[in-house]
Every structure is written in C-alpha cells, then in structure tokens.
Amino acid sequence: MKMAPSAKKHAEQSWVIPGGFTVLPLKYSSDSVSQHSLYVKEHRVRAEKTTSRPLDRTLFVLNIPPYCSEEIIKDLFSTFGKVQSVELREKPGTTESSDLKLSKYFRPALTKGFSVGYVVFTSPSGVKAAKSHPRDIPLIVSTENHPVKVGIQKWIQQYRQSLINPEKLQAAVDTFMQGYDQKKEEESERQKEAEEDDEGWVKVTRGVRGSKARPHSEMANQRALQKEDKKRKRKELLNFYTWQHRQTQREHIAELRRKFEEDKQRIAVLRAQRKFRPY
C-alpha cells in the first residue's frame, strides 16, 4: 500500500480524512499481511429520534468485514470504553421497528457481506477514544484467546444452529398469533367505536371486516370501466350501413399495407445483418 507522504510524521496520531471519518486499521489476525480500514465517526443524524442510538454516545462504523459479528465488534471496541450495544446493518439508515419484535425464527436473514455498524458506548468518552486511535496500530479480530470461527467451522456451526426444535417454534408461532388476534380484535373494536357519532347514532354498513370495509380498490375501478366499455360495444351494429362496410374494407387494405411496411422494415434489418446468405 502506498502511504501518503505525511504518514510518518503522524504515525502516532489518528488519521482523519476529509468528510470527518477517522481511519481505524483492522487485521484479521496478528500474522495477516494486509489490513482493512474501518471508517468511524460519531453518529449525528438530527432527524433520527430512535432511542437505541443516542447521539453523543454512538459511533458510526463503515466497512466492517464479513467475518465480524456483533459480538466481535463489541469485543474490539471495548478497548475504547464500555460498549452498551452493537447493531450491524447492510446499509446506513434506520431500522424497521417491526422486525425487531419478531422471534429469532422469523427475523430476516443477515447479509453475509460487508456491513456498517452503530456502536453505542455507555459514556461519550468511548467515542472520543475510538476517534483518536493511532493509525499504525491495527485492531486484531481473531486472537488466540478469542478465535473467530470462519470457513468450514463457521458453516458447521451455522448448520447446527439451523436445526430447530419444533416445540420452541410452535411456542413462538403461538405467541405471535395471540398478539395478532388481540390486535385484530382491538382494531375492530376501534372501528365500531369510530362509527358511533357524537350523538350516539351508528351508521349501518354492509360489513366491517377486512378489505370489504375499504371503499374501493383500483382493480374494482378498472373492472367497472371495462364493463361499461363492453356494454357499449355490444350495442353497436357492424357492417350494417354501406359506409360501415366501406370503412371495414378500407381498414382491411390499410392493415395489409401496414403489415407490408412492417415486413419491409424487417427485411431491411435482416439484409443489413446479412441474414440471407444460405451458407
């Protein structure tokens, strides 16, 4: 790797690139010959209101290699201060809250590629420590004390984890369905209430359940239009008047001409491609 000329001078210092990111070198193990660079910055998105990423204590990390799980990142960043939580994602952005509530069996699978992470420290000092990490001391992912499982070992572990106990799965399904039924019930209750107006009158409608309660769907609109079209067509008489007959004939010839023209075009293209050489 070609270093910037000023590299030696700042050897003991951290390296901040334009854009405000600090570069943290990362090696898989101490005898690795090459290294990746993590790009870290304090998490600062004003619009975001999620409590899981407090603004002053969260470190935003880019370019996390695929063999780093949340636990490993937690371990790595513990050198800068106590880590409260780590969240790894495919792309920067907010999480959908609905996924978090699901049981582990139904959560969408994590990507196996490079990821970005949000590391939340217990105190803001962790963020600062991470940002001032010197550029020539790489973080080591896999050490003798904490070997990381990769390759065959990892896949065997994954396989073991993929074996699911049906009873536990059934339990997870039951909990969800209970919650779902409850939610549905509440919803229908609410709907009933909403229909009761201030003076206690209730508007009587056809039904309250599901899609029928909704006024219209796009499809229904289209279908109605098509029906009307059909009706109009059925009423029309064809080839009844002389002018209609003449019109049909004219259309026929026009159709033939159009086809002729199309074919000529096609031939021209094929000829251009020399498609008529038999051998």
Q: Between residue 221 and residue 240, which ones bind other proteins under the rule CB under 8 A?
A: 221
User: Is position 212 an interface residue for other proteins (rule: CB under 8 A)?
Assistant: no
Q: Which residues contact 125 (CB under 8 A, 6 or more apart)?
A: 81
R_g (Cα) of the chain, nearest Å: 34
Burial of 179 (0-12, 13-18, 19+ CB in 10 A): exposed
Stretch that binds other proteins, among 73-81, 129-137, 191-199, 263-271 (CB under 8 A): 263-271
Give the residue, chosen from 13, 217, 239, 248, that forms a contact with other proteins under the rule CB under 8 A: 217
- Extract the tokens encoding 153: 């070992």
Q: Find the shortest distance in angstroms from Cβ 122 to other proteins.
A: 25
Work out whether 261 is an interface residue with other proteins (CB under 8 A).
yes
Reference 92, options 62, 70, 72, 66; nearest CA is 62
- List the one residue from 166, 198, 199, 235 that touches other proteins (CB under 8 A): 166
Q: Are 122 and 82 in contact (CB under 8 A)?
A: yes
Nearer to other proteins, 81 or 117 (CB): 117
CB-wise, 51 or 162, nearer to other proteins? 162
Q: Which of 48, 65, 74, 124 binds other proteins (CB under 8 A)?
A: 65
Q: Are 35 and 138 in contact (CB under 8 A)?
A: yes
Q: How far, in Å, CA of 135 to CA of 7, rounded?
A: 9
* By CB under 8 A, residue 155 contacts other proteins: yes
Among 210, 231, 234, 236, binds other proteins (CB under 8 A): 210
Residue with Cβ nearer other proteins (35 or 85): 35
Chosen residue from 44, 223, 227, 257 binding other proteins by CB under 8 A: 257
Pairwise CA distance, residues 199 & 278, whole Å: 87
- Residues in region 78-97 near other proteins by CB under 8 A: 91-92
**Among the listed residues 47, 100, 163, 237, the single contact to other proteins using CB under 8 A:** 163
CA dist list (Å): 110 to 88, 141, 157, 257: 9, 20, 16, 59
Give 180 or 241: the residue with its C-beta nearer to other proteins: 180
